[in-house]
Structure 1
């Protein structure tokens, strides 16, 4: 499975890359085998394209390549595959806020840990 995932990963390196994954082995028709593939591959596997004949695979590949071969404008991709400046600024603010919250939680935990006295036999047992 690892070798199959490596081969598939070599075909797609960037956002503008596309490729066809043909896993021509009956093992990949079984769900228990497909679940061993990485998540990014599993998310692209659709039940409609599992256990196809050779002819059906060729037809699906042709449709996909025709669709992907169409020219596209990068401006059309803003907000879908590309982030706008507004999205980036929002993400920066969100990350900064999350960092501050995490630091506050860590400081609170350290304060609690420092304020509790470690228990020993002499402090745990009441004196009579």
Structure 2
């Protein structure tokens, strides 16, 4: 079997409003817009890629004519920040269209802050570290 330690991961999510989604991830969370394009004639109308240049993953945001966001309270993207959550970060996320919410699982309320993006998907900023 091939060693997958260095593999890059792409997470994809649909959006109703590409500008609002990009604003949330870039202005709110501080990610980099790595690319954005329109796809005329494709089933999806617009794509954007956001992330941190040094990360081994990125988020693909898709505005699609057919697929619409349908998040649940357990559709979580968890970022392990290994320390306290900066209130200025939460303020930027809220200003960029995010909303602080109670987590369905109380574990995340104890160990971080949960926010919803403009499409209702949840992001947990965890005070824990991955190890």
Is this a same-fold pair by TM over 0.5?
no
Bigger-Rg structure (1/2):
1
* Larger RCO of the pair (alpha carbons < 8 Å, separation 6+): 2
Please state which structure has a larger fraction of its residues in strand: 2
Instruction: Give TM class, smaller chain.
Output: under 0.3
Please give the TM-score of this superposition, normalised by the length of structure 2: 0.25
The structure in which a higher percent of residues are helix is 1
